[in-house]
Amino acid sequence: MFSLKSIVLNLKDSDNNFPEEISKSIEVPGFPKYIIYCKAKTPIILLRNLNIAKGLCNGTRLFIEEVKPHVLVCSIMTGPSKVNITFVPKIKLHYEETEVYGLSFGKYQFPNALAFAITINKSQEKSFYYVGIYLNTQAFSHGQLYVALSRSRNKDNIFVGVIGKDLDAKRTNVVVRNLISQN
């Protein structure tokens, strides 16, 4: 198991990078964490488009073959490039100033996350042999429950889990009628 730290850069003052304790505390949606843990023989998912022509797009599932300090050696798990070996380098990610953090920063990090589990949205256009769905809350957008339940070709391979007080509650597939065209 390797722990790989980000390098966080202050984009407005390049001579003054952020101290490690501040870098660790910055968590932005769509950005990898400050430290990611990588190990050979684990599945990951890309969080950025790297090379669309080679199938290295946001949401592509990869399998880590080898971990090096500045590159992950991976095989592609899905799509037309399936099984091809590819290299995923650390890249510079930019975050522009917002009201939340009030600062702009850049980060050198691998653009991936572990993919033992993925969100319903990331699972679109993918098929799985087994699908486990954790539905502790209602699906919240149009067709989200349908997408989750249709990822396996065999209904016997779909498992739904609910934890908490709401065990017998029904789940609703949210449908926005205006989005459905009527002929």
User: For position 26, what pLDDT does the model report?
Assistant: 72
* Residue 95: pLDDT band with limits 50, 70, 90: confident
Up-side HSE of residue 114: CA atoms within 13 Å toward CB?
14
| 14-53 residue pLDDT tens | 556 666 777 677 777 767 777 777 889 999 999 889 999 8
Does residue 110 register a pLDDT over 80? yes
Conformation bin of residue 94: beta by default, left when phi > 0, alpha when psi is -120 to 50: beta
Q: Mind listing the pLDDT tens digit for each residue in 111-135?
A: 888 888 888 887 887 888 899 988 7
Query: What gap in Å lies between CA 131 and CA 89, rounded to an integer?
Result: 30
In angstroms, the CA 157 to CA 13 distance is: 53
Closest listed residue to residue 108, CA positions, set 67, 152, 59, 48: 48
* φ, ψ at 15 (rounded to 5°): -85, -5
Alpha helices in the chain (DSSP H): 20-25, 144-149
Half-sphere exposure of residue 96: CA atoms within 13 angstroms, side-chain side: 0
**How many other C-beta atoms lie within 10 A of the C-beta of residue 82?**
11
- Please report the DSSP string for 92-106 in residue order: EEEE---TTT---EE
- Locus of tokens 């699906």: 139
Strand partners, 9: 106
Say if residue 153's pLDDT is above 60. yes
pTM of the full structure: 0.67
Quick one: how far is CA 102 from the chain centroid?
25
